[in-house]
Amino acid sequence: MQFDDLIVQMRRLALQAGARIMEIYDGPDFAVEVKSDQSPVTAADTAADALISAGLRAAFPDIPLVTEEQTATHGQRLSSFLIVDPLDGTKEFVQRRGDFTVNIAYVRDGVPVRGVVYAPARGRLFYTLADGRSVEEIGPFGDRPRDIRPIGVNPMPDNRGLMVVASKSHRDQATDDYIATYMVRDMTSAGSSLKFCLVATGEADLYPRLGRTMEWDTAAGDAVLRGAGGETVRFDDHAPLTYGKPGFENPFFIAHAPGVLLKPQI
């Protein structure tokens, strides 16, 4: 894999998909359908998926591609592959709350090693460089990056007062009970994979997820977090979260700065 070309293509496709999504988001009312798993889907999901899938298949025809909106590969076990959530946070999109992202990642041997997360309504763009380090690019975004700033997790989180980020749309009592086992300075809510990015930039220290997610929901944000020095571990045993699992469903997990003293499961 030529990581220089990979990052160029992922960034380009994320920006193009984000522009298409915003055309629909800023336009007149759009139809919302319900998939078999009861999650919503819109024209923005399908348009972004088609754009990204075509671009990745043209650029990397020999690498398996997994996307949320295409189910052909969902029963396969893969070790190295591209994985896409063309519009993560569709509920945020439908409610016009802005916290939705375009996610593209490359997984190698079960580890998300490169990724891009673009939040078009927030004007925030995060990705890994070819060497694996994570950055945030400051807009306006053009064909080539202009202002790129390295990002990193909080190197010394205060375990007597952590900053915690949790889901906007999927918050539940189990999550609140687990967060209550920590000494928390403050909490914030965010939608989609932005939660990973807030930990990656040091804006938060801890993101626990005690709910159902799929690998396309997490791979890109996880790659950005790992490239910023962070970790994503299973909730049950604190082993690293891996990818390419049968069915691509994640267990509960915790994304965190390494200095956070993780609590046992409740």
CATH of the domain at 200: 3.40.190.80
Q: Is residue 155 part of a domain?
A: no
Domain boundary (94, 129, 150) is at 150
**Residue 68's domain is classified under what CATH number?**
3.30.540.10
Domain boundary (87, 117, 150) is at 150
In this prediction, residues 128-142 reach a mean pLDDT of 97
Domain boundary (102, 122, 150) is at 150
In angstroms, the CA 83 to CA 218 distance is 10
Average pLDDT of every residue of the chain = 92
pLDDT in tens, 15-70: 999 999 999 999 887 777 777 666 778 899 999 999 999 999 999 999 999 998 77
pLDDT in tens, 151-191: 999 999 999 999 999 986 667 888 999 999 999 999 998 88
Type of residue found at 177 = D
Q: Is residue 263 part of a domain?
A: no
CB atoms within 10 A of CB 77: 9
Q: Domain residues for 9?
A: 3-150
Beta bridge partners of 137: 125, 148
Residue 34: closest CA among 94, 118, 114: 94
In angstroms, the CA 46 to CA 69 distance is 7
What is the total count of domains within the chain? 2
Burial 117-130 (b: 16+ CB within 10 A, else e): bbbbbbebbbbbbe
Q: Is residue 262 part of a domain?
A: no
Residue 197: closest CA among 132, 119, 110, 85: 119
pTM: 0.94
Burial 31-49 (b: 16+ CB within 10 A, else e): eeeeeeeeeebbbbbebbb
Q: What pLDDT, on a 0 to 100 scale, did the predictor assign at position 51?
A: 97
Are 176 and 229 contained in the same domain?
yes
CA 8 to chain centre: 18
